[in-house]
Structures are given as C-alpha cells and as structure tokens.
C-alpha cells in the first residue's frame, strides 16, 4: 500500500466522506455529535473580579459558551471542525471570554471564521509576543502555530465562530489557568478597552 491508497494514519479503512449543515445565518451546526458546555462556575480563576463571578454563579450560573463539534480521529491529517458560541455578558467590567489555550501540539495553527457578533481574539506566545485581533461577522482570524488564543465577546449578542484546526492539536489549558493573557478586554459604560495586564499576567488575589 502506498500513500495514495492508504489515507488512514492508523492503516485501517479510510473514513467515508461526509457533510454537515452549517446554518450561516443562525450561526449553528445542525445535530453536532459532541457539545462542550461551560458555565460561569467553570470559569473560576479566569476573571480579575472573582467576587463578581461568584455573584453571577449565585444568581443562576449562566451559560458562558458552547462548542459544537463533529469529532474526527485526533490523528495527523484529519481536520477538526467546530462552532464556538460565546454568550455576551460582563464579569464586573470584564467581557465574557473563553478559557483560552495553547495547543498541546504547539506547532499547529487554527482558523476562526467569525459568523456572528463582535469581539477580540487575544493571543500570546511563550516567548512573550502578544496580539489582540478584532472579531466580527465575515472576519477570518488566522491563529498561527505557537500562539495561545482566547476569544472575547464585547457585544450584546453571541460571538459565534466556525473553527478548523489540525485534529492532532489537542488543548493545553495549564499555562493559561495560571498565567492568563497579557491583555484583558473591559467594557465600561459601553466603551470597550484593551487593558494591559500587570506583572506576570497573573490574576489579582
Ligand atoms: C476552539 C475552542 C473553543 C473553546 O474550538 O476550544 O472556542 O475555547 P476553550 O477551549 O479555550 O475553552 C479551539 O480553539 N480549538 O482548538
Ligand atoms: Zn485552539
């Protein structure tokens, strides 16, 4: 068998081609196989105002974000596709955001095609580079290999993106959970601000 007739990395039968329906107006995937749900209580430690987050949790623990997926084998060659749907809201004056992660295989990039909403993709590298790229409908954000990434909703409607990344990439949340990102996105009186985090990006006590 050569590379042309053995497309499966595991050497088994090749995957049967498939298609799914993505509703670009509703910004949703029909009948996902996997649904990851994160609520406010899953976000402890990520926002700078811990008391405001606890208040939110006590007031009903609202939905934060969902990831709708049609998983493929986590093997080199496959492409993972998902829709990330981040709700609007504030924790204190900080906009709702995803946890953010490096890929466990860090030399893997990702495409985020924004379908709906407004926000930012904040990014950083282990070497100390940082970026905050605006997200809005029809905008595609390219997350290059080696960049940790977190999406942030600055608007009043869900921020929804269609994402594609190498299936072997995996997720590494450890560094972000302890060190965060160098920039935070705040909304005060309707005005969105990018605030540089102090010191080692760590959360305030
Ligand atoms: C996305 C993210 C999704 C949720 O599918 O996993 O937006 O964000 P967190 O994983 O940081 O909670 C992606 O970037 N995958 O690699
Ligand atoms: Zn990713």
pLDDT 10s per residue in the chain (205 long)? Answer: 344 444 454 567 899 999 999 988 888 999 889 999 999 999 999 999 999 999 999 999 999 999 999 999 999 999 999 999 999 999 999 999 999 999 999 999 999 999 999 999 999 999 999 999 999 999 999 999 999 999 999 999 999 999 999 999 999 999 999 999 999 999 998 899 999 987 544 454 3
Burial class from Cβ neighbours inside 10 Å (0-12, 13-18, 19+) for residue 103 reads buried
In short, whether 64's Cβ falls inside 6 Å of ligand 1 is no
Structure confidence at residue 176 (pLDDT): 95
In short, whether 163's Cβ falls inside 6 Å of ligand 1 is yes
Structure confidence at residue 199 (pLDDT): 56
In short, whether 87's Cβ falls inside 6 Å of ligand 1 is no
- Reported as half-sphere exposure (CB side, CA atoms, 13 A), residue 204 has a value of 8
The pTM of this model reads: 0.92
Structure confidence at residue 8 (pLDDT): 52
In short, whether 99's Cβ falls inside 6 Å of ligand 1 is yes
Q: Which fold has domain 28-196?
A: Jelly Rolls (2.60.120)
Distances (CA, A) of 34 to 30, 38, 49, 156: 11, 13, 31, 26
Structure confidence at residue 24 (pLDDT): 83
Q: 59 CA to middle of ligand 2, Å?
A: 30
In short, whether 121's Cβ falls inside 6 Å of ligand 1 is no
Name the DSSP letter for residue 94.
Answer: E
Q: 141 CA to middle of ligand 1, Å?
A: 14
Structure confidence at residue 11 (pLDDT): 62
């Amino acid at each position: 068998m050569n590379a042309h007739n053995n497309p499966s990395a595991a050497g088994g039968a090749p995957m049967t081609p498939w298609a799914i329906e993505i509703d670009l107006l509703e910004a949703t995937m029909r009948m996902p196989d996997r649904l990851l749900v994160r609520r406010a209580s899953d976000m402890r430690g990520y926002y700078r105002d811990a008391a405001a987050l606890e208040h939110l949790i006590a007031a009903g623990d609202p939905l934060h974000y969902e990831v709708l997926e049609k998983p493929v084998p986590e093997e080199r060659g496959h492409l993972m596709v998902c829709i990330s749907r981040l709700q609007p809201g504030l924790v204190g004056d900080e906009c709702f955001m995803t946890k953010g992660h490096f890929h466990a295989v860090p030399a893997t990039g990702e495409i985020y095609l924004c379908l709906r909403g407004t926000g930012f993709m904040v990014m950083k590298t282990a070497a100390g580079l940082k970026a905050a790229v605006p997200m809005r409908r029809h905008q595609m954000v390219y997350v290059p290999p080696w960049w940790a990434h977190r999406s942030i909703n600055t608007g009043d409607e869900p921020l929804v993106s269609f994402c594609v990344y190498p299936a072997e990439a995996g997720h590494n949340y450890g560094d972000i959970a302890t060190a965060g990102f160098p920039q935070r996105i705040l909304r005060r009186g309707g005005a969105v601000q990018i605030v540089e985090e102090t010191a080692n990006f760590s959360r305030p006590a």
